[in-house]
Amino acid sequence: MSMTEDHTPLYRSNIVWHHSIISRSEKEALNRHAGVVLWFTGLSGSGKSTLAHAVEARLFDMACRTMVLDGDNIRHGLCGDLGFSVVDRSENIRRISEVAKLIAQTGMIILTAFISPFRSDRVRARHLVGNPDFVEIYCRCRLDVCESRDVKGLYRKARNGEILEFTGISSPYEEPIEPELVLDTDLQEIETSVSQILAYLRKRQVIRMGE
């Protein structure tokens, strides 16, 4: 047994959660909007990142406090030690879920853009974040359209066998069963998708109707 494994129970017994003296509701009152996690999921090339940043820009114009957690950016740091096996992908989503949860509790609007191909991982993310705070947004897009948008050439490499376990080619994407929103990003303009998301946030009273 390694030193880490041997001492883990002892370390955990001495860890105590510290609560902020400023409540979440007070932070949300200062922000003038609620905290929430917008979880964008879909194939590579489905428009997740583009849409997340477009929504953030609109929310910024409304003076909302936001943060985008993008798949590529996260793998440069927090998840830089992970590969793309099923186990590593699951751990990647777990870490993001924990980070998103912490930030949302400050009353910020978090926008995550991850393929998150496995339904079980997204279910776990919802559980970790908390159902009221978790909004699953499925960017539905035909595979051929995703491939036509592939500026990195990832689909071509996957079809040539240069990239293994690539979602949509050699690894499955499991569609959400009951997402809060389904956006057909291969059929509608990005502004239409942005408007649908903002309308949902107003309906949920995450942002105010007049904003």
Decide: 39 and 94 in contact? Cβ < 8 Å. Answer: no
Decide: 69 and 111 in contact? Cβ < 8 Å. Answer: yes
Task: Map residue 138 onto helix, strand or coil.
Answer: strand
**134-140 β-sheet, strand order:** 66-70, 109-113, 36-41, 134-140, 181-184
Cα gap 202→147, rounded to integer Å? 34
What is the distance in angstroms between the CA of the first residue and the CA of the last residue of the chain?
57
* Catalytic site residue from 49, 116, 171, 193: 116
Q: Catalytic residue at 116?
A: yes
Catalytic residues, by residue number, are 116
